[in-house]
Each structure stands twice: as structure tokens, then as C-alpha cells.
Copies of this chain bind each other. A is one copy, B any other.
Amino acid sequence: MVEKRSPISVGECVRKVMEYSSKGKTEMVPIELAYGRFLAEDLIADHNVPSFDRSPYDGFAVRAEDTERANSNNPLSFKVVGEIGAGAVFKGQVRAFEAVRIMTGAQIPEGCNAVIMLELVRESSVGNQKYIEIKRQLKIGDNISFQGEDVKKGTILAKKGTYINPGISALLATFGYSKVPVAKKPVVGVIATGSELLEVSEQLTPGKIRNSNSYMILSQIERAGGSVKYFGKLMDDFDKCFLAVQNALSEVDVLITTGGVSVGDYDYLPAIYDKLGATILFNKVAMRPGSVTTVAQLDGKLLFGLSGNPSACYVGFELFVRPFIRKYLFSDKPHLNRESAYLGEDFVKPNPFTRFIRGKFSFNNGQLIVTPSGFNKSGAVSSLAKADSLIVLPGGTRGYQKGMIVDVLLLEDKQGSEWPWDNIVPSYKS
């Protein structure tokens, strides 16, 4: 007797998952380990940058008003009354026709309001006293980096949940974060099921394939920002699978299994969810590939049952597991970023279901082009190698021609979107 399942639209399925998703915890890491993590707090400027008026060049600080009549026919002489190395502060007061030698980044001395670049003056000495000659008029503020011109105190420079890139690292250092509050990575457990699976190190034998989904998912977890706990692969054996799932659950924030979620005789996951007392959120998604994707929850903890087919497994992860991880990492945009792109080649196959075709994008003179990245079947693995996007073809539509605008979900994007699932026609035949 084959169980009859009713397909639910992708958006509705994602919404069910997000009801059981929540923001995670904060941990402190040394700044040198913060790259690639996600901020657990807003990064707020606690001082102006620059924090003082400073010189952007090597040169001489003067009073602009003293240069008013300077030109190439009328060089004016200034007495050099001091020198400020970077990091030093000039203690005196600069008066009329006096100049202070100033290094890049040093604080403008009291009384000065302009800097002339080193290359533009002639230096001379009378005994131990140095002088410079200035041949051009300076305006007030010339060559001064003003306090706060880069960052005003109190500015929110990056929101909680932001990916820490090199620029954010620079700001964290600027504002004294020797330890950085980052989102703790959720621990994502992975169990592969399937009697056909060989270990990667094993020789191929008739009827068997190597376990590729596990290593694919481990990488997807890392790309999304999670931490991996891999429990290995299991034969299709109810008792062993049940125990493995039960034991794994207590060690992880969320558990992924691959395989065993369909309606075949060896698909034990539905029975395992049942015996655990877990509630099924959905077990049939109105999409291709990955329609068998099943998600259950037990005491609020999610169990993702992904397909055993590589492409289906891949898509299921990105649509359902990724937003769980990103929300845990404090993102307000946990879903894949959805953009429009021009289809790079004909894709004529019609299908009643919403499809997620593995794609590769490129640019052509300012236009985003996306092209299917290879062999397009649920079980395909080759097309995943070049995939950096999923082309979304709404259900019920006919084939697409080259040059048409399609929706794409960007896989390598670090920012995501709040909710990409509106206006994708959830059409399917039940």
C-alpha cells in the first residue's frame, strides 16, 4: 500500500521550518579568528574616525591665512618650529609664518588649519634653524582629514548578523574589539542512510555507489556558517537507524539525514519519526528535485530528512537548512538571495512543479546571465560542481527560451534575503 502524500508549496514549507528556528548564542573570539564569522551585536562607533584632525600626507602644517599672498613669483618663508612624527603630539602653539613638519596620520597642531605637501616646498637652513618656502596659497582645511569625517561617533557600522569580511575586521580593530562577539555556530548533525552506500575509500562494486551526499552536505553546512558533526553512514536497517538518530539528536542543534524519506519498503525515516514521537511538518514539497524532502520536529528540535539523490539533497539543504543556520547566526535575511537574470540558453522542458535548476551565472556587459550548470536530473552530481545558483522555474510554466528573465537564488552570497518566496507561483497538481 503506497502512502498518499499531499504536496505543499515551497514557501509554505519554509515558513513551517522557520517557526521552529531561532537566533542562537553569542561567543567571544579573538579578533584574529573573527574573519568569516557573523556579528552577534551591532558594531557601533564609540568614537569619531579620525578621532582628531590629522594630516593625510607628509608635509608642513601652517596657518592658511599666512599663505594668502604666496605665489610662484612671491615665495613666502616660514620658520620650522617643530616636527611631529606619527603618533606624537605637538605641544606648542604655532604662530604667524611658522610651520611644523608633520608626518602622515599625525595630529594637526594647535593653531594650524592647513597642510602643504612635502613635495611642494623648498627647505633651507640658517645655522640650525630650518625654513621652508611656500609658493602657493592654501585654503583653510587644505590637506586636513577632519575629526569624524570617516565615521561619526554613534554610527551603526554593521548590523548584528553581518558576515565579517576584511573591512569589518578593520573596523572591529579600530573600535577596540580585541575579542569579538560572534554568533556561536549551530552544531549540525549529519547521518547518511542507504545500503547502497560505500565509504569514499572503498572500491566500487556492482550496484553500489560511494557516499557523496555526506561530504557535499558537510561543505554546505560550512558554507552556510554551521559547525559539522558527522555520524557516518548506515545501512537501511530500522533499529540501527532509529538508535543512531535518537542518539545523535541529543548532541546537535539540528539533525540532517539523507535518504530513506520516500515511500519505498526500505524508507525507514517516516517510521523513525513516528517512533521518536516527532511531528512531521511536511513530507512532500511541490518542487523538483527534492519533493520527498521531509522535516519533523521533536521538542522543538528540527530533523531534516533530505533526499538520497544528490541534486535533490543539495536543493533541499539550501532551501530549508540554510535559513535555519543563518537565522541561528542572527541574520535577518536568512534565505537565499533572489535576483533576476537573463537565461543563457534554451530550457524547453515543461514541468507542472516549481523547479530549481542548478545554474552558473556570468556577466555580459553589465547583465547577469544564468545558464544550467549541467546534467539536470534529481540524481545528477556533475551539475553541482559548477553550480553557484539555482534557477527558479515556477510550476506549470512551459519551457524557457534564451534571453528570457528568470529568478535565480545565489548560493555563494553572504547577505541573503528576508523572504524570497513571494510571487513564485505555487502551482502543482495534488
Chain A residues close to B by CB (< 8 Å): 2, 31-32, 35-36, 47, 49-52, 56, 58, 83-89, 101, 103-107, 118-119, 145, 149-151, 155, 157-158, 164-178, 194-197, 199-204, 206-220, 222-223, 228, 230, 236, 262-267, 308-310, 314, 339-342, 358, 363, 365-368, 375, 377-388, 405, 412, 414
Contacts and interface: CB of A to CB of B under 8 A. Distances in A.
Contact of A365 (B168, B266, B382, B405): B405
A376 to B, nearest CB: 10
A52 B50 CA distance: 66
13 contacts: A32-B218, A49-B381, A51-B204, A87-B194, A166-B219, A166-B223, A167-B358, A167-B387, A169-B212, A170-B385, A171-B212, A172-B215, A340-B366
Contacts of A213: 170
A105 B194 contact: yes
A58 B58 CA distance: 76
A87 B151 CA distance: 62
A106 B199 contact: no
Given A85-B265, A176-B202, A412-B414, 4 more contacts: A87-B208, A166-B216, A174-B210, A340-B363
Copies of this chain assembled into the complex: 2
Contacts of A106: 196, 207
Contacts of A200: 31, 172-173, 176-178
Given A104-B264, A145-B377, A210-B176, A384 B215 contact: no
In the complex, which of the residues A168, A173, A206, A365 has the most CB atoms of chain B within 10 Å of its own CB atom?
A: A173
A415 to B, nearest CB: 9
B340 A212 contact: no
8 nearest CB pairs, A to B:
A167-B384, A87-B196, A166-B219, A170-B216, A86-B196, A58-B264, A173-B212, A178-B201
Contacts of A165: 219, 223, 385, 387-388, 412
Most buried by B among A194, A196, A358: A196
Contacts of A384: 166-167, 170-171
A410 to B, nearest CB: 9
B264 A207 contact: no
Given A50-B209, A103-B264, A215-B32, A197 B367 contact: no
A412 to B, nearest CB: 7
Contact of A367 (B178, B308, B368): B368
Contacts of A195: 85-88
A365 B340 contact: yes
A164 B196 contact: no
Contacts of A56: 309, 377-379
B150 A380 contact: yes
Contact of A104 (B202, B220, B262): B262
A173 B103 contact: no
Contacts of A206: 52, 89, 107
Nearest to A214: B173
Contact of A219 (B88, B101, B169, B203): B169
A88 B208 CA distance: 8
Nearest to A383: B167
Contacts of A157: 382, 385
A155 B386 CA distance: 14
Q: A58, A105, A236, A309 — which one has the most chain B CB atoms within 10 A of its CB?
A: A105
Contacts of A35: 218-219, 222-223
Q: Pick from A119, A197, A382 the residue with the most CB of B within 10 Å.
A: A382
A208 B21 CA distance: 44
B209 A174 contact: yes
